[in-house]
Amino acid sequence: MDFYGFTPRSRLFLGTAQYPSPAVLQKSVEAAGVDVVTVSLRREAGRLGGGQDFWALIRSLGVRVLPNTAGCHSVKEAVTTAQMAREVFGTPWIKLEVIGEADTLQPDVFGLVEAARILCAEGFEVFPYMTEDLVVAERLVEAGCRVLMPWGAPIGTGKGLNNPYGLRALRAHFPDVPLVVDAGIGLPSHAAAAMELGYDAVLLNTAVAKAGDPAAMAAAFARAVEAGRLAFEAGPMEPRDMAAPSTPVLGRALLG
């Protein structure tokens, strides 16, 4: 599992928005044991007085920052935000979002590919937030993306994996590209299901931040991601239509 030359210990990536307090955020990140957190440049800077307290907290956690272009609805806006984030954080990493539809926050895949091409040419290491469309994935890889981040469901819905078939097809089509399910994860079981499909990591935010006990939920997700990956590596049994006895019938006594 290599993300632009970086191999995290944890396959769970965690967002940093919507937590009740910085202290709860800190406890959640620590409970999850994550190595990578996402941050929104504009949101955090506006909410925490220029962002200094927030950046100090993130630095104290010793995690790698994945800035994002959340809330951007055009190529120009996304590219400009990415350039600002690189200056602030000193990292070429960027989670690229170009939103095309307000109600579902579905990516504008045309703008996404265009913005990815621009940023990759400028030396960014792009993590594109996309749908599970194979053609879009091909275009993003051609643009220079070495990681793909298909959604599970619309951002913040907690619906889980709306299209397991599409996600499975994406995994089969890109066996050597790191894939991260991003958005729509609501329960640890959803995260485990993504990992059982062979995905390399899961990125989530709202399911932890809005839980009754965010730190406990973060720990639950960490265990689910680990369990799902172990199950994938173990080689799950193939489902079947007919029942099959788990106890052999050969040699069973026949009673008249």
Q: Is the pTM here over 0.85, yes or no?
A: yes
Instruction: Tell me which residue of 197, 178, 90 sits closest to 127, measured CA to CA.
Output: 178
The response to whether 205 counts as a known ligand-binding position is yes
The residue annotated as part of the active site, out of 27, 95, 159, 210, is 95
Are the C-beta atoms of residues 19 and 25 closer than 8 Å to each other?
yes
**Domains of the chain, residue spans:** 12-234
- One digit per residue, the tens of pLDDT, for the chain of length 256 reads 789 999 999 999 999 999 999 999 999 999 999 999 999 876 444 444 446 677 788 888 889 999 999 999 999 999 999 999 999 888 999 999 999 988 888 999 999 999 999 999 999 999 999 999 999 999 999 999 999 999 999 999 999 999 999 999 999 999 999 999 999 999 999 999 999 999 999 999 999 999 999 999 999 999 999 999 999 999 988 888 888 777 766 666 666 5
Query: What is the reported pLDDT for 48?
Result: 43
Instruction: Tell me which residue of 65, 32, 62 sits closest to 213, measured CA to CA.
Output: 32
CATH topology of domain 12-234: TIM Barrel (3.20.20)
The response to whether 156 counts as a known ligand-binding position is yes
Query: What is the reported pLDDT for 120?
Result: 98
Query: What is the reported pLDDT for 157?
Result: 94
Query: What is the reported pLDDT for 254?
Result: 61
Query: What is the reported pLDDT for 250?
Result: 63
Percentage helix, strand, coil, to 5, in the chain?
45, 15, 40
> Six-digit token pair at 42?
């504009």
Residue 95 falls in the annotated catalytic set: yes
> Six-digit token pair at 126?
């792009």
Sequence length of the chain is 256
The response to whether 71 counts as a known ligand-binding position is no
Instruction: Measure the CA–CA gap between 192 and 196, rounded to whole angstroms.
Output: 6
The response to whether 256 counts as a known ligand-binding position is no
- Using a CB cutoff of 8 Å and minimum separation of 24, what contacts does 107-111 make? 107/131, 107/151, 108/73, 109/133, 109/136, 111/74, 111/75, 111/78
